[in-house]
Structure 1
Amino acid sequence: MRYNKLDLNQLVVLDALLSTRSVGQAADRLFLSQPATSCALARLRSYFEDELLVPVGKTQVLTPLAAELEKPVRDVLLQIQAITHTRPGFDPRTSTRRLKIEASDYVISVFLSAAMRKAETLAPLMQFDLRSISPQTPEHLNGGEIDLLIAPEFAIVPGHPSELLFEDDFSCLASTEHPLDAKTLTADQYFNTAHVGVEWGGGRRITFDAKTIAASGNRARRQDLIAPSFTLVPDLLVGTSRIATLPTRLARQMTSRFPLKLLPCPVEVPSFSENLQWHKFQERDPAIAWLRSLLLETAQGLPAQAPHRADKKKRQAGADRRNNR
């Protein structure tokens, strides 16, 4: 089919060429031969009267026109995809859709594991591809390569709808034989004790608590050991004199699986939220809408968080001041 003299089938080839910047990689993505992909590129160059891809050293780069075409071409294909996926009678019990979700290992452990147990019963034929957040996550959502993203508020991608899933705060973890005590842990002890830190997401992002403590002007923590994911922390803590600061939901889960104890964080760190996000063109995709509903229902069933010891002290101090007026 042609529109304005352009074979619309070529849009798929153009999208692959613009995103990979490579004839060979585009051919692999499209399951075409390299000669066929090269011929398609030649036709596209003739239509647009532009080279689109030009060699610079050993790589190919986009021309200015190609760079301008990259986003609108991808958006058009995503809108077509949304249209083709719209089915009036979507039934999760018989659907064979495969949906892709990016999230941190923390979210997968404390939240998605429960949601996937429900999905096994409700949608036995569907597939759920869970992927780790990475520096390429914004590109994956913008490009429609993933269906849903679960991320903290500071990591959501601008321009797409999102909604709150759940909130969490921070607690400390230590080996059960660690001399630090939950009732007497002080800020000085906290900063003087060696920590297991986490830098996550493939791009070595620092965690929200580390970012907040650094921004507050407090002393830097002694991070003697840095893990690439949250769920590796217990193995690195057990039998050591180190401590770790982790989201409380995950920390509690770890104390039930490892010889670890939970300690209140003596340094004030704000709570944070995990948010569910999807591409704006997939708003009406019934399979994605169903999965969003399942995730929201699962989030509503999460146990409420007990307030921090520090929060309790603040509230009690405020009440005492009011009572003394």
Structure 2
Amino acid sequence: MRHQDHAETNLLDPRLLRLFDALFATGSVTKAAEKLGQSQPTISIWLARLRKELDDPLFVRSADGMLPTPRAEALIGTARQALEMLRRLAELRTDFDPTTAKRRFAICMTDGSHVTLLPSILAHVRRVAPRVRIEATLIGADTPRMLQSGEADLALGYISDLDAGHFQQALFPQDWVCLANAKHARIRDRITVKEFRREAHVLIRSGTGHQLLAGALQEQRMVLDVALELPGFLGLPAIVGTTDLIATLPRHIGETLAHYYGLRVLNCPLAIAEFTVKQYWHARFHHDPASQWLRGVCAELFQQQEVRGLHRSSRSRKRRPRDLQSQGSAR
């Protein structure tokens, strides 16, 4: 361990390497200072450090300027090679070109998002990134681990409690609506609380939305006449469109299903907590160009001005993430 620590302390500061190169090229402390954008006192301090590190004067004053010692002449080639490697390392960046990229993105989402979000994402990707493949994965308790490991690139939806190390960006707010058959015998343009209690319902036991609805019913001590429970949104339009059952669900999915299947959209009379649909990703991939591109696509397609913002989860305040707007907009 001591040998390793000693070796690490002998690593040269890149600024000293740049000074070595500048002094060798110019033979002048003044010109080296100008080249490096530093003051002469700073250059003098750096030169003293460099001489100490390499245990040699390296440059001596003469009528012709600062002349290199034999050790400086022996080391300049290695120093310049090291500087070139550092430049290449700094410039090394794998850019993501959607027009030519061939890769798979895995996005965690609810089955409702398959109807509301996925078509727009897929249409955009097919248009601008024809060789990119999208895989929709179910959002759930394992989603944070999948984002951290890279098994999933992004999660779209609402996650109420997120582990530290994840970023989140708001996309759009959600309130609640009721769906009814367009020819419903008793329900027309609105539904009252009394009618809501009286009618038979179909419940969707899927996602955080179901938990919010169940919480609101419990808080308001309301027991619904539930005629049917479904594990997801598949089949819901056919059920509502051929029966007198009422479905209560978030507005985006409700309005989308109503548009495609000719159902009636009603403002929900029950007070249910609103929420915000967000996109989530792990800090490991925050600066990854491919991940940035995908997040930019989702922000461009779905983000609304009133919910713009970027947050990163905090281990000490999991339920109220610390605002990281200083990091800039998510990309």
Fold match, TM over 0.5?
Answer: yes
Report how far residue 288 of structure 1 moved. Answer: 0.6
Contact preservation (8 Å) 2:166, 2:280: yes
Change (3 A) 1:300 1:162: closer
1:255 Cα deviation (Å)? 1.9
CA contact (8 A) 2:167 2:280 kept: yes
Alignment of 1:222-237 (within 5 A): 222-237=225-240
1:178 aligned partner: 184
Q: 2:203 aligns with which of 188, 197, 207?
A: 197
Match of 2:104 in 1: 98
The alignment partner of 1:298 has SS state of helix
The corresponding residue for 2:114 is 108
Identify the residue that residue 137 of structure 1 maps to in structure 2: 143
CA separation of 1:218 and 1:253: change in aligned 2, threshold 3 A: same
- TM-aligned CA deviation for residue 264 of structure 1: 1.6
1:264/1:162 CA distance change after superposition, 3 Å:
same
Deviations 1:265-306 (A, max 9, x none): 11122321111111111111110100100100001379x9xx
Q: TM-score, normalising length from structure 1?
A: 0.61
Residues 1:214 and 2:220 aligned together:
no
SS at match of 1:218: coil
Instruction: Please point out which of 245, 262, 272 is paired with 2:265.
Output: 262
Residues in 2 aligned to 1:109 and 1:258: alpha-carbon distance in whole angstroms: 12
CA contact (8 A) 1:186 1:266 kept: yes
Runs (5+) with no aligned partner, structure 1:
5-82, 305-325
Alignment partner, residue 247 of structure 1: 250
1:88 to 2:88 alignment:
no
Q: Hey, what's the Cα distance between the residues in 1 that align with 2:187 and 2:95?
A: 57
Q: Displacement, 1:122?
A: 1.1
* Matching residue of 1:77: none
| Bigger Rg, structure 1 or 2 | 2
Deviation at 1:139, TM superposition (A): 2.9
User: Which residue pairs with 1:78 in the alignment?
Assistant: none
Aligned partners of 1:195 and 1:222 also within 8 Å: yes
Q: Contact 1:254–1:260 (CA<8 Å) still a contact in 2?
A: yes
* CA offsets 1:179-202 (integer angstroms, 9 cap, x no match): 23344521121122111111125x
In the other structure, the counterpart of 1:150 is 156
* Distance of aligned partners of 1:134 and 1:279 in 2 relative to their CA distance in 1, 3 Å threshold: same
Q: Is the 8 A contact 1:182 1:264 kept in 2?
A: no
Q: How many residues align?
A: 217
Letter in 2 for 1:174: A
The answer as to 2:291 corresponding to 1:288 is: yes
In 1, the alpha carbon distance for the partners of 2:159 and 2:291 equals: 21
Gaps of at least 5 residues in structure 2 are 5-88, 308-331
Percent of matched pairs sharing the same residue: 27
Local SS of the residue matching 1:165: strand
Q: Is the 8 A contact 1:103 1:130 kept in 2?
A: yes
What is the match of residue 35 of structure 1?
none
Instruction: For residue 149 of structure 1, report the CA deviation from its aligned partner.
Output: 0.8
What letter matches 1:260 in structure 2?
L
The whole-number CA distance in structure 2 between the counterparts of 1:207 and 1:155 is 16
What is the CA distance between 1:206 and its match in structure 2? 6.2
Q: Is the 8 A contact 1:167 1:271 kept in 2?
A: yes
CA contact (8 A) 2:175 2:275 kept: yes
> Are 1:160 and 2:169 counterparts?
no
Q: Distance in 2 between matches of 1:115 and 1:211?
A: 30
* Alpha-carbon distance between aligned partners in 2 of 1:215 and 1:160, rounded to the nearest angstrom: 32
Matched, 1:274 2:280: no
